[in-house]
Amino acid sequence: MIGFILRRAFWAIPTLIFVSLISFIIIQLPPGDYVTAYAAQLRHGGEYITAVQEEAMRQQMGLNDPVLVQYWRWISDIVLHGDFGHSLEWNAPVSTLIWDRLGLTLAISSLSMLFTWAIAIPVGVYSATRQYSVFDYIFTVFGFLGKGIPDFLLALVLMWISFVYLNLNVGGLFSPEFQTAPWSAAKVVDLLVHLWIPILVLATGGAAGLIRVMRANMLDELGKPYVETAYAQGLSEGQVVWNYPVRVALNPFISTVGWALPALFSGDIITAVVLNLPTTGPLLLKALQMQDMYLAGSFILILSVFTIVGTLVSDVLLAWSDPRIRYA
């Protein structure tokens, strides 16, 4: 088991290098470089620097070095000093901007993942064991709708409904009066009032797909002989279903955790923009629109790293739950 984890962790390393390269390429993609952007920003503020000064800055910052050297400098700063570079837009080190937002993103993503599972597993099992029942049809329709409705549209509609019919001012995670207030019971309540829409939106989107996966897996498993064996032992239906086929059907499910995580981050970005949440999404979008590439690249890098770690965790979980993989 330990060997398996180590082997998997080892495999994650090239992936990490790959995504860091991609992130760096994205930083480099827009025409011009940091100095051009900096000069443009200064011009905007009414100051000027000469082409010679620009060149000197480039020399000083090493922007004329080969790309690989620059990449090495960037990545080693991150790994060794936690220095993600400098955000032009905010005129601050990137690292000071991202961590609390990342924390919120992670919190919302993992909460919605829990909700997704809490919805998808029982519903999927129910749908499969009561195939073609009324609720099975209802859940199937729900699954299709959830697949067809983009997250941001669901967020928009929910926001609209709660605004027009429930008279709630959603959007954001806190009401204005709590925005900067220190943590208190009232602030937590306020947070919960605001939190349900993003969680609902993210969980519905995810659950719709997972219900279908779970149902299909369960239907496959329910037809297998070992289920009949379990019944032939005199176990009740509940004991049989939850101990045997669900255990097996969960395996492909667990392996999707690794993919659910990037999907959640992705969904979170658009939902967060629509709902105006103080998570990574809106900041990343703004950074991209302003071509604040160090900030954007850092976000993409960190989100990708989370994803890879998520995949690793799901692989380990899978090995833990399925002996066939553990001993393979």
Partner 1 sequence: MTASHSMPAERLLDVEDVHVHFPMREGLVKAVNGVSYHVDKGEVLGIVGESGSGKSITARAIMRLLPRNAREAGGCIRFRPRTGEEFELSALERNSRAVRQVRGRHIGMIFQEPMTALSPVHSIGDQICRTIQLHMGFDRQAARKRAAELLARVRMPRPQQMLDNYPHQLSGGMRQRAMIALAISCDPSLLIADEPTTALDVTTEAQILELLKELQAETGMAIVFITHNFGVVADIADRVAVMYLGRVVETATVDDVFYAPKHPYTKALLNSIPRLGVEQGRRLPTIPGMVPDPFSVPAGCSFNPRCAHAVPGVCDVTAPEQHRFANGQAARCHFAEQLAEAVHA
Partner 2 sequence: MTDQALDPVATPAPAAAKENLYTARPWTLVWWRFRKHVLAMISLWFLVILAFMAIFADVVAPYNPFGIERLLTFSQPTAVRIVHNGQLTWPFVYALKRERDPVTARVLYEDDFEKPLPIQFFVSGDEYNLLGLFETDIHLFGVDDRRAKINLLGTDGLGRDVFSRLIHGARVTLSAGLVGVAFAFVLGLTLGSISGYFGGWVDASIQRLMEFIRSVPTIPLWMGLAAALPIAWDPVFVYVLITLILALIGWTHLARVVRGQFFAIRDEDYVMAARLAGASEYRIITKHMLPAMTSYIIAALTLAVPEMILGETALSFLGLGLRPPVVSWGVLLQDAQNLRSISLAPWLLSPGVAVVLTVLAFNFLGDGLRDAADPYGQ
User: Minimum distance from CB of 312 to partner 1 (Å)?
Assistant: 21
Instruction: Mark residues 276-295: x for contact with partner 2 by CB under 8 A, - for none.
Output: --------xx--xx-x----
Query: For residue 70, which phi and psi values (nearest 5 degrees)?
Result: -60, -40
Nearest to 83 by CA among 232, 313, 254, 298: 298
Q: How far apart are CA 130 and CA 124, in angstroms?
A: 10
Q: How far apart are CA 257 and CA 254, in angstroms?
A: 5
147 binds partner 2 (CB under 8 A): yes
Q: Which amino acid is located at 195 in the chain?
A: L
Nearest to 310 by CA among 1, 3, 19: 19
72 binds partner 2 (CB under 8 A): no
14 binds partner 2 (CB under 8 A): yes
User: Minimum distance from CB of 46 to partner 2 (Å)?
Assistant: 24
Among 274, 277, 318, 319, binds partner 2 (CB under 8 A): 274
Spell out the SS3 assignment of 106-167: HHHHHHHHHHHHHHHHHHHHHHHHCCCCHHHHHHHHHHHHHHHCCHHHHHHHHHHHHHHCCC
Residues 253-272 that bind partner 2 (CB under 8 A): 258-259, 261-263, 265-267, 269-270
34 binds partner 1 (CB under 8 A): no
Q: How many residues bind partner 1 (CB under 8 A)?
A: 23
Q: Which does 224 bind (CB under 5 to 8 A by kind): partner 1, partner 2, none?
A: partner 1
Q: Which does 255 bind (CB under 5 to 8 A by kind): partner 1, partner 2, none?
A: none
Q: How far apart are CA 67 and CA 133, in angstroms?
A: 60
Residues 210-249 that bind partner 1 (CB under 8 A): 224-226, 228-237, 243-244, 247-248
Q: Which does 323 bind (CB under 5 to 8 A by kind): partner 1, partner 2, none?
A: partner 1
User: Minimum distance from CB of 324 to partner 1 (Å)?
Assistant: 5
Backbone dihedral region of 84: left (phi > 0), alpha (psi from -120 to 50 degrees) or beta?
A: alpha
Binding site for partner 1 (CB under 8 A): 224-226, 228-237, 243-244, 247-248, 251, 321-324, 327
